[in-house]
Structure 1
């Protein structure tokens, strides 16, 4: 699959890529004839491999656990011991793609929210109520934990989406703030997600000061050590600013300026932090800042996708993919 050069006035260089990476490995079913032995084998696998464990504690502000779950299939009373024995059978282990609603191969993902699809990434509107009109998200197709550790081909596509979103919103006299919160790396439950928030230019100019102040003021509550509070990524970029496998909060103001904060205590850090700063900048009432994110009806979401797609049409770089 080859990529043509150029997007409007700003060409975006892309290397030739193959679409064979678009699809992830299909999940395998656990099927055994002997029920008792199968139960023992399954229990042993779960104990030996942590990736099969599913935490009952949902990530704050993110409903990744809304997908299919391993629910028991208990039958009603009246059948006695025989029905009880039928229920003692091995349950198929859910793959990461089935648990995560942002994995592109999950059949239950909200397809109606997808706006644009590339080779390794896609653009969608949020599943929850947007902070502002135009609020959207960039995600890799496969289950990646953070942009800090993704492959170059995924990194390049995310940059292409960012560039084109910046151009699209510039036409509306807006600037874009990009947010990424990376936590729970050991569990690999959270899908890499970059939230893109368009702001009026006069408000966006103040965004760096707002975020710096918010992080400095809250640092005493988060940090257990005297780590550097805020790292400017303007010169070195995200990848050269922090090591791999560190939880972090990253905010970018356009493409060439940003801050990254290494999260020292994940229990204290709210995954809604970045959006709450945006809400504060926009003067949203305080009682609305810390509520859980509300979902909208599918009809409203489809209308929002249609409106966004009309604006995105002239800047959609994925149309250049053969």
Structure 2
């Protein structure tokens, strides 16, 4: 429990403002807040997290950023478009984030795109029946890569990651959508 919620709760009890159930409700809210803060601090994709691999970021938009995976990639060019704010599911994202990431709102699905040639999409009717590795299984099967490549990816050394990011940035430069948005103010990586 954080010190401020403890102080508020103790003051409320002293003044007789909080009954037993209200006090436990405040404690529960405080514990949920602390749990959320812990998750955000440890998230490797959140900008505010000390755990984020900022050296893997290729481009930063207003609502999303492009980064390389911290492990050995499936194939050359393997990258991730990630929302800047923490969300547990794309279904929970705001309209402007979905628009920048080009994701339809309102239903769960898995999609694989092949550049400008289109791709495949699969609507997920019951999220509880889909394995957490469904996307990796699909990509691994399509690319005919060994199970160990996507299930237990090899971690690369920092210098290898830096050189891979530098090479990708130079190849990506002609397609960088964030260059068009540089005129608008943005709080980049801090």
Regarding TM over 0.5, the answer is yes
| Structure 2 residue 79 is matched with structure 1 residue 136 | yes
What TM-score do the two structures reach when normalised by structure 2? 0.70
Q: Distance in 2 between matches of 1:296 and 1:137?
A: 17
- Residue matched to 1:152: 95
Report the counterpart of residue 121 of structure 2 in structure 1.
259
Higher helix share: 2
Aligned length: 169
Question: Once the 2 structures are TM-superposed, how far is the Cα of residue 130 of structure 1 from its aligned partner?
Answer: 1.2
Residue of structure 1 in register with 2:57 after alignment? 114
Distance 1:124 1:31, change over 3 A: same
Would you say 1:30 and 2:3 are equivalent positions?
Answer: yes
1:300 to 160, 163, 172: 160
What's the offset of the Cα at 1:316?
A: 1.1
Change (3 A) 1:131 1:45: farther
Question: 1:43 and 1:302 mapped to 2: Cα distance?
Answer: 49
Q: Which residue does the alignment assign to 1:60?
A: none
Instruction: Quote the offset at 1:289 in angstroms.
Output: 5.7
CA distance in 1, matches of 2:59, 2:150: 30
Distance 1:45 1:119, change over 3 A: same
Equivalent position SS for 1:94 = helix
| Partner residue, 1:314 | 174
Contact map agreement 2:74 2:150 (CA 8 A) in 1: no
Deviation per CA, 1:150-205, whole angstroms, max 9, x where unpaired?
2232123213xxxxxxxxxxxxxxxxxxxxxxxxxxxxxxxxxxxxxxxxxxxxxx
1:101 counterpart = 2:44? yes
Backbone CA RMSD of aligned residues: 3.5
Summarize the alignment of residues 129-278 of structure 1 with structure 2, pairs less than 5 Å apart: 129-159=72-102, 238-239=104-105, 242=107, 248-254=108-114, 257-262=119-124, 264=126, 266=128, 269-278=130-139
Secondary structure of the residue aligned to 1:302 is helix
Aligned partner of 1:51 in structure 2 is 32
The alpha carbon displacement at 1:97 in A equals 2.9
Question: Is contact 1:113-1:125 (8 Å) kept?
Answer: yes
Whole-Å separation in 2 of the counterparts to 1:102 and 1:261: 25
Can you give the 5+ residue segments of structure 1 that lack an aligned partner in the other structure?
A: 1-28, 55-92, 160-236, 243-247
CA–CA distance in 2 between the matches of 1:140 and 1:306? 22
Would the aligned equivalents of 1:276 and 1:289 in 2 still touch at CA under 8 Å? no
Gaps of 5+ in 2: 14-22, 184-190
1:239 CA drift (Å): 3.0
Residue 20 of structure 2 corresponds to none
Residue 104 of structure 1 aligns to a residue whose secondary structure is coil
